[in-house]
Amino acid sequence: MQNPSPTPNPPKKASFVWPFRWLFTWRILRRFLVIMAALITLLAVVWTEEHWRGKHAWEKFQHEWEAKGEKFDLQFFIPPPVPDDQNFAMTPFLAPLFDFNPLPLKPGQSLWRDTNGYQMAVDFGYKEGPNFSRSWTKAQRTDLTAWAAILQGKKDVPPSVESFSDRAVAAIEVLRGLEKYKSVLDELRTASRRPFCRFNVRYEENPLEILVPHLAVLKEIGQIFQLRASAELASGQSSLALEDTKMVLYLADGLKGEPMLIANLVRIAILNISLQPLWEGLAARQWSDAQLNELQQRFGKIDLLQEYGPALRGERAFGNTGIGYYMVGAPKSVLYQNKLFLNRMYQRMLLPLMNEALHRAYPAETAKNDAALEKELNGGFYPYKIFASLLLPAVEGAVNHFATTQAEIDEALVACALERYRLAHGQFPDTLDALSPQFADKIPHDLITGGPLKYHRTEDGQFILYSVGWNEKDDAGKIVLTSGNHPRVDFKQGDWVWQYPAK
């Protein structure tokens, strides 16, 4: 009898199975759980320690600087409410900008109650046309001939070369074209007699979603007042031009004290607009001594170097609030460290760039701090620098705007005093010292060098007045223009010059 065939050997299990069998024995699994528990405990300790360290470092920084007078809470910078009947911002033309429907909105409902009023305000003026502001920095008057054509409905109007007779004719056409704005401009002039200007911005909302439609509207209104003032000067109506120039200054003052940096930069832009008719009246020798004295008094109240600190501190407070909004759910340690880094950079790198007491700006220090700030942002642990990386690049260039415009205002004050001297003596003085005390209580110095502004008379009976500018070098009154089809003055190169067209 044959033996039965042998039972085949069972297939061998894959060799990789045995490590898993070993791994998942209860003994090994228990060790694994113990190790994981230890790791979790360690992470929790580190997390708690990092949270405490971040919180402690931020609160220590905050308390130390608050003891020196610094403020970090947005509530400190928000302008207080004012009665509507005493508030320029609540005049009927401007009120719809911040008259909102309650939230949540119904389907299809507009955010604004009075959509027509809102649209009328934001559409006010001309969005395209010859550049309004800073033509004087190139010794150029407002191009009234081009503006007369635009107000007549023509498109793509090229710049013109105006004679004085052409300019006088164009001025009449410009004033006629601006008549359609008269009712609004008259309303605003009447409202400017109110003692306060406070736009009801929703400061309590997410800082990065706050609506500020009034900024563009005020700038556009300022441009219309400036255009009308230039046309009034060209038609020999200096008294009317003075009132319109003062309205541009009033609009700029309406933004003073708003805690957002963008509001302060728009204020600066409107101040630039106001310098154009002042310069044009001086270039044409149209202002009287009394008018010049009034303009001196008005411009003399402006100190942008003094406003620089509050503007940056308000912006910093918005950043602190924004961190709370946008880091909900993030580890508290990250929140505290972002606040700490952001505020340290403001305190160390940005706020020291102006010295309001000495009336000085420091371009070299600005360049050094810009480089140091960039190095700080690019090094270290990035999650602690997220907000600073987003916010600070837009802030660090603000110092140049504040310094440049204040230097221009200082020159405007001196130019007014020089014209008053000429009216009294028939010519400009040999030196600026001759202006004080009769025509100026104090002669502003060059805020870049701390020394006197550069001044000398020219052969045609005019003068040239200038600051050495951002490059801190005396370029003998040279103006540097940017390249391109519409060159502007490059305020980081050359000198900052006040001069009139050659006769």
Provide CB contacts within 8 A for 174, sequence distance 6+: 144, 147, 148, 151, 227, 228, 230, 231
pLDDT digit string, tens, across residues 354-371: 999 999 999 999 999 999
Cβ–Cβ < 8 Å for 357, 303: no
pLDDT at 379: 85
Phi then psi dihedrals of residue 188, to 5 deg = -65, -40
pLDDT digit string, tens, across residues 271-316: 999 999 999 999 999 999 999 999 999 999 999 999 999 999 999 9
Spatial distance between the Cα atoms of 225 and 360, rounded to a whole number of angstroms: 32
**What's the average pLDDT block by block, 10 residues per block, for the chain (503 residues)?**
47 46 51 50 49 85 96 95 97 97 91 96 84 78 91 78 76 96 98 97 88 97 97 97 98 96 97 97 98 98 97 95 78 87 96 96 95 91 87 91 97 98 97 97 96 96 97 96 85 95 79
pLDDT at 241: 98
pLDDT at 381: 81
Cβ–Cβ < 8 Å for 489, 471: no
Where on the phi/psi map is residue 484: left (φ > 0), alpha (ψ -120 to 50), or beta? left
Q: What DSSP state is assigned to residue 463? A: E
pLDDT at 195: 96
Distance of CA 361 to the CA centre of its chain: 17
Mean pLDDT for the chain? Answer: 88
pLDDT at 30: 52
Phi then psi dihedrals of residue 229, to 5 deg = -60, -40
Listed by start position, the domains of the chain span 68-99+114-286, 309-399
Amino acid identity of 346? Y
Beta strands in 50-110 (DSSP E): none
